[in-house]
């Protein structure tokens, strides 16, 4: 999905694991209404059927986010990358390897509960698919009902996610650009302490954080969404003045090889 804006600011939005671009639609519309050009790519294995995740490598998610970013930046001098959950981790990967105006993470996944990591490795050969008992982790019941995220996922895909998160945790010290990290205390998917891990490990001199008090995991659709959107816009306004510096220093590097 691409929304053309009226100013040089461009925002790349990355959705979460088992999600789809629709969970970013509200934020995309908000940013577009403020004049930004917005792109919300679909990550491999998503927005079709859960079984399509079974044979997707984490390298495919990284490659897709890299391609979307490089294609987008080729035409825009000022780019912000905003990611939800797994998309937040991918946004941090991009921030570790490229220079752009700023990165925003929403419930960024960095370290999942140990029992979940163990299950993704040990149980995958015996329990191919895991069902979500309670649907998307959203406090707002109306918003929750409107989402069409996968209701199940292959454990093999969860194993790929864990591998990717391990890689991205090691890259965090390479992140030096302005960052805004937002997380909910009541997140039932990605533990709240991921926010502290992120703030501690990145090397960004300009780092901000926001704690959502009335939402769960899918922050883009939950009760705090308007306050979150407003905070993101203030962050974008504050750091978009770096346009001249960014355009003078940009080199269009090739995508780093995922390992």
Q: How far apart are CA 54 and CA 58, in angstroms?
A: 11
Kindly state whether residue 133 falls inside one of the protein's structural domains.
Answer: yes
Sequence-ordered list of residues with C-beta below 8 angstroms from that of 248, at least 6 positions apart, any chain: none
Kindly state whether residue 259 falls inside one of the protein's structural domains.
Answer: no
Task: Name the H helices within the chain.
Answer: 25-33, 58-73, 86-97, 114-122, 141-146, 155-171, 193-201, 225-239, 243-249
CA dihedral 36, 42, 47, 51 (to 10 degrees): -160
The parts of the chain modelled with pLDDT lower than 70 are: 1-7, 118, 120-127, 242-259
Kindly state whether residue 244 falls inside one of the protein's structural domains.
Answer: yes
165 burial (CB, 10 Å; 0-12 / 13-18 / 19+) is buried
Kindly state whether residue 255 falls inside one of the protein's structural domains.
Answer: no
Contact 85, 107 (CB under 8 A): yes
Kindly state whether residue 110 falls inside one of the protein's structural domains.
Answer: yes
Stated pTM of the model: 0.90
In angstroms, the Cα distances linking 164 to 82, 141, 169, 215, 231 are 18, 31, 9, 26, 28
Domain that holds residue 46: 2-249
Q: What pLDDT, on a 0 to 100 scale, did the predictor assign at position 227?
A: 98
Q: Which of 91, 114, 47, 121 is nearest to 204 (CA)?
A: 91
Q: What pLDDT, on a 0 to 100 scale, did the predictor assign at position 100?
A: 97
Q: How far apart are CA 217 and CA 184, in angstroms?
A: 7
Q: What pLDDT, on a 0 to 100 scale, did the predictor assign at position 104?
A: 98
Q: What is the CATH number of the domain that holds 10?
A: 3.40.50.1820
Q: What pLDDT, on a 0 to 100 scale, did the predictor assign at position 257?
A: 40
Kindly state whether residue 130 falls inside one of the protein's structural domains.
Answer: yes
Kindly state whether residue 105 falls inside one of the protein's structural domains.
Answer: yes
How many structural domains is the chain composed of? Answer: 1
Q: What pLDDT, on a 0 to 100 scale, did the predictor assign at position 256?
A: 44
Q: What pLDDT, on a 0 to 100 scale, did the predictor assign at position 3?
A: 64
């Amino acid at each position: 999905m691409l929304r053309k804006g009226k100013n040089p600011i461009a925002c790349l939005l990355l959705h979460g694991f088992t999600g789809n671009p629709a969970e970013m639609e509200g934020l995309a519309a908000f940013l577009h209404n403020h004049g930004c050009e917005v792109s919300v790519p679909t990550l491999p294995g998503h927005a079709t059927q859960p079984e399509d995740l079974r044979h997707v490598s984490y390298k495919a998610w990284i490659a897709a986010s890299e391609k979307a970013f490089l294609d987008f930046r080729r035409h825009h001098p000022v780019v912000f990358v905003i990611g939800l959950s797994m998309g937040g981790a991918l946004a941090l990967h991009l921030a570790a390897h490229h220079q752009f105006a700023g990165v925003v993470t929403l419930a960024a996944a960095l370290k999942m509960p140990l029992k979940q990591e163990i299950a993704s490795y040990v149980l995958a050969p015996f329990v191919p698919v895991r069902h979500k008992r309670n649907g998307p982790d959203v406090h707002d019941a109306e918003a929750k009902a409107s989402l069409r995220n996968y209701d199940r996922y292959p454990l093999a895909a969860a194993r790929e996610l864990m591998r990717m998160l391990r890689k991205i945790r090691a890259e965090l010290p390479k992140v030096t650009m302005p960052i805004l990290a937002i997380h909910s205390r009541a997140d039932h998917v990605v533990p709240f302490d991921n926010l502290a891990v992120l703030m501690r490990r990145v090397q960004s001199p300009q780092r901000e954080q926001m704690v959502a008090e009335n939402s769960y995991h899918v922050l883009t659709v939950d009760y705090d969404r308007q306050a979150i959107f407003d905070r993101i816009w203030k962050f974008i306004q504050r750091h978009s003045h770096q346009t001249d510096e960014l355009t003078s220093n940009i080199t269009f590097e090739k995508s780093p090889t995922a390992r």
